[in-house]
Structure 1
Amino acid sequence: MEELIMWFITLLIFPGALFIFSLALFTEYLFRKLSARMQKRMGPTYVGPAGILQPLYDLWKLLHVKEEVVNKYSMPMLAKIFGLLGLSAAIAVLPLFPLSPLRIYGDYDFLVYMYICCLWIPFMMILMSLSMPGPYTSVGVSRILTFVTICEPAYFTALLVPVAITSKNASPIYSVFTASKNIWQYWINPYTFPLLLLALISAIVSLQAKGMLQPFNIPEAEQEIIAGFETEFSGPILGIGRLLHDLDITITIIAIVYILLGGPYPYPHLSIPGVIILVAKYLGIVLLVAIVKNAFGRYRIEQALYVLFKYSLIPAIIATILTYIYLLI
Structure 2
Amino acid sequence: MIIDRVEVETINSFSKSELLKEIYGLIWILPILALLLGITIEVLVIVWLEREISASIQQRIGPEYAGPLGLLQAIADGTKLLLKEDILPSRGDIPLFSIGPSIAVISILLSFLVIPLGYRFVLADLSIGVFLWIAISSIAPIGLLSNSLSTVDIVEAQSKYGFFGWNLWRQPIGFLVFLISSLAECERLPFDLPEAEEELVAGYQTEYSGIKYGLFYLVSYLNLLVSSLFVTVLYLGGWNFSIPYISFFGFVQMNKIIGILEMVIGIFITLTKAYLFLFISITIRWTLPRMRMDQLLNLGWKFLLPISLGNLLLTTSSQLVSL
What range describes the TM-score normalised by the shorter chain of this pair? 0.7 to 0.9
Report the count of equivalent residues. 280
Equivalent-residue separation in structure 2 for 1:32 and 1:273 (angstroms): 28
The answer to whether residue 139 in structure 2 is matched with residue 159 in structure 1 is: yes
The residue aligned with 1:229 is: 204
More displaced stretch, 222-231 vs 265-274:
265-274
Taking the aligned partners of 1:21 and 1:314, their CA distance within structure 2 comes to 38
After superposition, residues 58-137 of structure 1 pair within 5 angstroms as 58-63=77-82, 65-99=83-117, 101=121, 103-111=123-131, 113-114=132-133
**Residue in structure 2 matched with residue 178 of structure 1 by the alignment:** 153
Provide the identity percentage: 23
Cα distance in 1 between the residues matched to 2:54 and 2:66: 18
- The residue aligned with 2:17 is none
Pair 1:316–1:54, CA change in 2 (3 A): farther
1:313 to 290, 297, 305: 305
Aligned residue in 2 for 1:118: none
Q: Equivalent residue for 2:317?
A: 325
- Which residue does 2:194 correspond to in 1? 219
| CA distance in 2 between partners of 1:289 and 1:198 (Å) | 18
Q: Which moved more, 1:205-214 or 1:86-95?
A: 86-95
Q: Distance in 2 between the 1:107 and 1:275 partners?
A: 21
Q: Whose radius of gyration is greater, 1 or 2?
A: 2
- CA, structure 1 residues 184+80, in 2 after alignment: closer, same or farther (shift >3 Å)? farther
One-letter amino acid of the structure 2 residue matched with residue 24 of structure 1? V
Q: Which residue of 1 aligns with 2:237?
A: 262
Shift of 1:226: 4.8
Output one character per residue of 1:74-132: Cα deviation in whole Å (capped at 9) or x when no partner.
34553332322222232223231222735322432322x338xxxxxxxxxxxxxxxxx
Residue type of the alignment partner of 2:88: V
Secondary structure of 1:295 counterpart? coil
2: distance between equivalents of 1:77 and 1:49? Answer: 41
8 Å CA contact 2:133, 2:139 repeated in 1? no
1:7 is aligned to 2:33: no
* Cα root mean square deviation, aligned: 2.7
Structure 2, unpaired ranges of 5+: 1-20, 242-246, 250-259
- Do residues 22 (structure 1) and 41 (structure 2) align? yes
Per the TM alignment, residue 255 of structure 1 is displaced from its structure 2 partner at its CA by 1.1
CA–CA distance in 1 between the matches of 2:295 and 2:269? 36
CA 25–273 in structure 1, closer or farther in 2 if over 3 Å, else same: closer
Query: How far did 1:10 drift?
Result: 2.0
- TM-score, normalization by structure 2: 0.77
Stretches of structure 1 lacking an aligned partner (at least 5 in a row): 116-152, 168-172
Q: Which residue is 2:4 aligned to?
A: none
Q: Which residue of 2 aligns with 1:238?
A: 213
In 2, are the aligned partners of 1:164 and 1:323 still within 8 Å (CA)? yes
Q: Is the 8 A contact 1:84 1:240 kept in 2?
A: yes
In structure 1, what is the equivalent of residue 270 of structure 2?
Answer: 278
Distance 1:75 1:93 in 2: 28
Query: In the alignment, is the contact (CA less than 8 A) between 1:83 and 1:241 conserved in 2?
Result: yes
Runs of 4+, deviation exceeding 6 Å: none
**1:188 matched to which residue of 2?**
164
Q: Give the superposition deviation at 1:259.
A: 1.9
Give the whole-Å Cα distance in 2 for the aligned partners of 1:312 and 1:109. Answer: 23
Q: Does 1:34 align with 2:49?
A: no
CA contact 1:221–1:228 (8 Å) conserved in 2: yes
